Amino acid sequence: MNPHLIKKISKLMSWGLRHKPEELGVELSPEGWTPVQSMLSAIQQRYPEVVLGDIHQIVLQNDKKRFVLSDDQSRIRAAQGHSVTVNLGYEAIQPPDLLFHGTAKRFLESIAEEGLQKRSRHHVHLSKNVQTARQVGSRHGQVVVLEVDAERMQRDGFAFFKSDNGVWLTDSVPSAYIMNLSDYL
């Protein structure tokens, strides 16, 4: 499959597994899984040339490892990023002391007022390295990388989860835990 088509199908899979399963034509289990065969059929409605091996290739080669196959390879789900209600079953674990969140400059005033909110997703997404946070933030505009005092948050009772593809997740980040916010205000 050519790289352009791979990207299109990967986006279609993300959209279906995270946001609009019914529009793609798949059904998600409470944990976010759908049979790989259902995903294949749904994709073939739009791209008849796609075969099962293409889906496996997308899962393996996806730049952010967005998709996960079940142990027996029969089911597929998104590792994170959902807006539909699913229970991914991640256990709360100890985060690195410092985590990063890339955002756009124009959001800072509101972030200072209400902290980082999950918006349409299930969690606030945080990265353990600055480069990833910078990439995430630059999708929204002039990028700013915020430093989150995860160590203190955890001590204060906030739970942190790590998705199968290494994204750190938490429910919200009050602005008091954003260490460099005042540099920008």
Contacts with ligand HQG, residue ranges (CB under 6 A):
64, 66, 81, 103-104, 107, 110-111, 114, 116-117, 119-121, 125, 136, 140, 167
Q: How far is the CB of 103 from ligand HQG (least distance, A)?
A: 3
Q: How far is the CB of 81 from ligand HQG (least distance, A)?
A: 5
Find residue 116's DSSP bridge partners: 173
**Do 67 and 105 contact (CB within 8 A), yes or no?**
no
Q: How far is the CB of 119 from ligand HQG (least distance, A)?
A: 5
Pick the closer one to ligand HQG by CB: 73 or 174: 174
Q: Which two tokens stand for residue 112?
A: 């200072």
Q: How far is the CB of 167 from ligand HQG (least distance, A)?
A: 5
Pick the closer one to ligand HQG by CB: 7 or 64: 64
Tell me how far apart the alpha carbons of residues 5 and 171 are, in angstroms, rounded to a whole number: 35
Pick the closer one to ligand HQG by CB: 42 or 81: 81
Could you give the angle at the alpha carbon of 30 between the alpha carbons of 28 and 31, nearest 5°? 90
- Residue 125's H or E segment, with its range, is strand 124-126
Q: Which two tokens stand for residue 67?
A: 């998709």
Find residue 161's DSSP bridge partners: 169
Pick the closer one to ligand HQG by CB: 81 or 95: 81
